Amino acid sequence: MSSHAVSYALLHRRGSRAFFLARSAQHLESLRLGREIVRAAVALGAVIAWGGVFLLVAG
């Protein structure tokens, strides 16, 4: 009977851990999205900067 109590306790811990990991995964997903937005903004800024350089050289 004590083995059932131990297995129930382990299942209960796994459930809590899975819930915690799900919340962490959502947090990581939002961080990943934020990094991609920053990366796209930096790339756009680089393209605009290179365009300005070409205009200065050509003009």
15/54: higher pLDDT: 54
pLDDT in tens, 3-52: 555 555 555 555 555 555 666 677 778 888 999 999 999 999 999 999 99
Residue 30 has what pLDDT?
85
User: Is the pLDDT assigned to residue 57 strictly greater than 90?
Assistant: yes
Of all residues in the chain, what percent are helix, strand and coil, respectively (each to 5)? Answer: 95, 0, 5
Q: What is the pTM of this model?
A: 0.52
User: Residue 11 has what pLDDT?
Assistant: 53
Query: What's the rounded Cα separation, in Å, for the pair 51 and 59?
Result: 12
